[in-house]
Amino acid sequence: TKKSNRSPAIIIHNKLTMASFADAARFLLLTAVGIAGNPSTADAASASPVSGWRSDLDWAALNSKLSSSASLIDTSYDDYAGECRPEFSEPWDSISNHALIDQPSGMCLPWLYLGWEMSWPRPSENGHLNQTFNQAYQDILDLFNDASTDVESWLADPTNPSLNLPSKVLFPSIASDVVAAVNFAKEHGLEISVKNSGHSYQGASSKKNTLLLNMNRYTHYAPTGITDCDASILGSTVTEDLSNQPCLLSLAKNKSSLIRVGGGENFDKVYRAVIAANEEEGYKYHLVGGYAGTVSPMGWSWQGGLGGSTGGRLYGFGVDQVVQLEMVLPNGVHVKFGPTDWEDASAEGFTVPRTKVVSGVCRSNPDEHDEENWVWQSCPEDFDIDFNDMWFAVRGGGGGTWGVVTSVYLQLHDYLPFKSYLFNNPPFRTEKCTAIFPQFAEFVAHYMSAPSLLNVTKERSHACGSPDPRAGIYCHGEEDVMQAWTRFLDLNNSTDPANVACLFSSDKLASHYNLPAPPGYAEFMISFAKNLRADRFPGKVPDDPPGKIGADLAGVLVPQSWLDEGEENRKTLQENGTPYYYAFGGAAASGSDQANSLSQAHRNAAFMAYFSDDYFWGNLFPKMFDISDKTKFPPVFGSNHAGFLTAGPLKEDWTKPCPREWTFEERREKCISFQEAIYGTERLARLEAIKKAVDPQFIFNCVNCVGNNLPEASKSEDDEPSPAEAEPLLGNSSDETSGASFVSSF
Ligand X SMILES: Cc1cc2nc3c(=O)[nH]c(=O)nc-3n(C[C@H](O)[C@H](O)[C@H](O)COP(=O)(O)OP(=O)(O)OC[C@H]3O[C@@H](n4cnc5c(N)ncnc54)[C@H](O)[C@@H]3O)c2cc1C
702 and 708 Cβ atoms separated by less than 8 Å: yes
Residue 596 Cβ, how far from ligand X at the closest point, in Å?
15
Where b means 16+ CB within 10 Å and e means fewer, 378-406 reads ebeeeeebbbbbbbbbbbbbbbbbbbbbb
287 binds ligand X (CB under 6 A): no
Residue 110 beta carbon to ligand X: minimum distance, rounded to whole angstroms: 6
Q: Which stretch binds ligand X (CB under 6 A): 36-44, 199-207, 438-446, 490-498?
A: 199-207
Rounded CA separation 44/79 (Å):
10
- In angstroms, the CA 649 to CA 657 distance is 4
Q: In the complex, what is the shortest distance from the CB of residue 261 to ligand X, in angstroms, rounded to a whole number? A: 10
CA atoms of 575 and 564, how far apart (whole Å)? 17
Among 120, 291, 415, 421, binds ligand X (CB under 6 A): 291
Residues 18-47 vs ligand X: string with x where CB under 6 A? -----x------------------------
- 467 by DSSP, 3-state: which? strand
Judged by CB under 6 A, which stretch of 143-151, 224-232, 287-295, 525-533 contacts ligand X? 287-295
| Sign of the CA dihedral running 626, 627, 629, 635 | positive
Letters for 139-178 (x = contact with ligand X by CB under 6 A, - = none) are ----------------------------------------
Nearest distance from C-beta of residue 722 to ligand X, angstroms: 24
Q: Pick between residue 404 and residue 475 the one whose CB is nearest to ligand X.
A: 404
The continuous run of DSSP H or E covering 669 comes out as helix 664-670
Phi, psi at 556, each rounded to 5°? -85, 135
Task: Report the amino acid identity of residue 729.
Answer: L
Convert residues 107-146 into a mask of x (bound to ligand X by CB under 6 A) and - (unbound): ----------------------------------------
Nearer to ligand X, 332 or 353 (CB): 332
DSSP-assigned letters across all residues of 232-290 = GGTTPPPPTT-TTHHHHHHHHTT--EEEEEETT--HHHHHHHHHHHHHHH-S-EE----
Coil, strand, or helix at residue 423?
A: strand
Closest CA relative to residue 321, chosen from 594, 592, 522, 541: 592
Site string for ligand X, 653-692 (x = CB under 6 A): ----------------------------------------
CB of 720 to ligand X, least distance (A): 23
Provide the minimum distance between the beta carbon of 97 and ligand X in the complex, in angstroms, as a whole number.
7
C-alpha count within 13 angstroms, C-beta hemisphere, residue 302: 28
Which residues is 745 bridged to in the sheet?
Answer: none
Assess whether the previous peptide bond of 657 is cis (omega < 30° from 0). no
SS3 460: helix
Touching ligand X, residues 440-469 (CB under 6 A): 467
CB of 572 to ligand X, least distance (A): 25
Judged by CB, which is closer to ligand X: 191, or 543?
543
d(CA 78, CA 167): 11
Number of residues that bind ligand X (CB under 6 A): 37
Distance CA 439, CA 445 (A): 10
Q: Does 640 interact with ligand X (rule: CB under 6 A)?
A: yes
Nearer to ligand X by Cβ, of 142 and 544: the residue is 544
Provide the mask over 210-239, with x wherever binding to ligand X is found by CB under 6 A and - wherever it is not.
Answer: -----x------------------------
d(CA 537, CA 276): 18
Of 179, 702, 726, 730, which lies in the binding site for ligand X, with binding defined by CB under 6 A? 702
For ligand X, the binding residues in 397-426 under the rule CB under 6 A are: 399-400, 404-405
Exactly one of 100, 163, 194, 687 binds ligand X (CB under 6 A); that residue is: 194
Dihedral class, residue 166 (left if φ above 0, else alpha if ψ from -120 to 50, else beta) = beta
Nearer to ligand X, 650 or 703 (CB): 703
Going by C-beta distance under 8 Å and a sequence separation of 6 or more, which residues neighbour residue 144? 10, 12, 30, 33
Pairwise CA distance, residues 502 & 497, whole Å? 9
Among 299, 397, 469, 643, binds ligand X (CB under 6 A): 299
> Which helix or strand (DSSP H or E) is residue 556 part of?
strand 556-559
We find the least distance from the C-beta atom of residue 575 to ligand X, in angstroms, to be: 26
Binding mask 308-327 for ligand X (x = CB under 6 A): x-------------------
Measured from the CB of residue 667, what is the shortest distance to ligand X in angstroms? 22
DSSP labels, 170-220: EE--SHHHHHHHHHHHHHHT--EEEESS---TT-TT--TTSEEEEGGGS--
The CB-of-264 to ligand X minimum distance in angstroms stands at: 6
Burial class (CB within 10 angstroms; exposed 0-12, middle 13-18, buried 19+) of 176 = buried
Q: CB of 195: closest distance to ligand X in angstroms?
A: 5
CA pair distance 596, 352, nearest whole angstrom: 13
- Binding track over 259-278 against ligand X, x by CB under 6 A: ----x---------------
Pairing of strands 211-214, 168-171: parallel
Residues 465-494 that bind ligand X (CB under 6 A): 467
Among 196, 256, 331, 681, binds ligand X (CB under 6 A): 196
Q: How many CB atoms lie within 10 A of CB 186?
A: 16
Q: In this chain, which of 20, 132, 164, 205 binds ligand X, going by CB under 6 A?
A: 205
Nearer residue to ligand X within complex by CB, 499 or 704: 704
Distance of closest approach, residue 188 Cβ to ligand X, in angstroms: 20
Residue 199 touching ligand X (CB under 6 A): yes
What is the pattern of x (binds ligand X, CB under 6 A) and - over residues 531-550? ------------xx--x---
Which of the stretches 303-311, 436-444, 484-492, 552-560 binds ligand X when contact is defined by CB under 6 A? 303-311
- Please give the residue ranges that form the binding site for ligand X (CB under 6 A): 23, 194-201, 204-205, 215, 263, 290-292, 295-296, 298-300, 302-303, 305-306, 308, 399-400, 404-405, 467, 543-544, 547, 640-641, 702
